[in-house]
Amino acid sequence: MPLFHKVSQLCSRITTEEYSTSFASAIRLLHNDLRIPIYNIYGLVRFADEIVDTFHQHDKEILLKEFKAATFEAIERKVSLNPILHSFQLTVNQYNISHDLVEAFFRSMEMDLHKQAYDEKQYNDYIYGSAEVVGLMCLFVFCDGDKELYAKLKPSAQSLGAAFQKVNFLRDLKADYHSLNRTYFPGVDFSNFNRHTKAQIEEDIATDFQHAYEGILMLPWKARFGVYVAYKYYLSLFKKIRKTQPSQILETRIRIPNYHKAMILVRAGVKNQLKLI
């Protein structure tokens, strides 16, 4: 079994590295004890997201239903021949991650199959299930059984997940609106997307980032630097989006160049050495 565990977890790591260079690089900055469990969480999340976003030639509803059932079966049986699910259940069972978080995640993925526009409640429910619970799963790993610390950091972890997701919504407006016919932000007419509406969305995201930062400073040292770098990556992307005209947001996917990411990492490293984070 140890070799099977290793191979399964390697699959989750490869999945993370291939789909998200930013997250993969941030995970590598976590303490070695934390990297594999976080890769395992991301692998599951990535596969479910792929089903609803890209498997257009297949029955996505059936695939997601089967994937969800197989996930909970893997958690219960503590084994799966699907390496992504096997590695995920290892982390869920090792850190006693709440099954309610997994359930909420799949509910949001199911919303992506049918919802094309969201009201305020649906928007908040979707963000909770698609992003905040992922942050909470990671927080279970970071706190490693310390329930008091988990409760203390839970609101900030949710804010960080929400900030990341809302930035993703803005970054991916072109694909979501034009290709997938999705509009996540409630009450927004993207045929008349203007500076005022964009500024309102950005103000909400800025509040999430500020609340998230307060929690990052209280994270265990094994997790703090890696999470801080991920935070800085997304904050930098957010700042670039804020400087971009609404019309350009709908036509271009905003990115952070690799040299800029390298600069962020160097600066974060200096702050970490000076114990400023």
Question: What are the tens digits of pLDDT across the range 137-179?
Answer: 999 999 999 999 999 999 999 999 999 999 999 998 877 776 6
For 194-222, b/e burial (b = at least 16 CB within 10 A) is: eeebbeebbeebeebbebbbebbeebeee
Query: Which pLDDT score is estimated for 6?
Result: 97
Do the beta carbons of residue 26 and residue 53 sit within 8 Å?
A: no
* Radius of gyration in angstroms for the set of CA atoms belonging to the chain, rounded to a whole number: 18
Query: Which pLDDT score is estimated for 103?
Result: 98
CA-based nearest residue to 95, from 160, 41, 159, 132? 41
DSSP of 193-219: --HHHHHHHHHHHHHHHHHHHHHHTTS
Its pTM stands at: 0.93
CB 255: neighbour CB atoms within 10 A?
12
CB-based contacts of 185, cutoff 8 Å, min separation 6: 118, 123, 169, 201
Q: How far apart are CA 5 and CA 123, in angstroms?
A: 37
**Three-class SS of residue 183?**
strand
Dihedral Cα 158, 161, 167, 173, nearest 10 deg: -110
Low-confidence spans in the chain with pLDDT less than 50: none
Q: What domains does the chain contain, in order, with CATH numbers?
A: 2-273 (1.10.600.10)
Q: How far apart are CA 108 and CA 104, in angstroms?
A: 7
Query: Which pLDDT score is estimated for 256?
Result: 85
Taking each helix axis from N to C end, the angle separating 32-54 and 133-143, rounded to the nearest 10 degrees, works out to 160
Segment 89-117, tens digit of pLDDT? 999 999 999 999 999 999 999 999 987 78
Query: Which pLDDT score is estimated for 255?
Result: 86
Query: Which pLDDT score is estimated for 235?
Result: 96
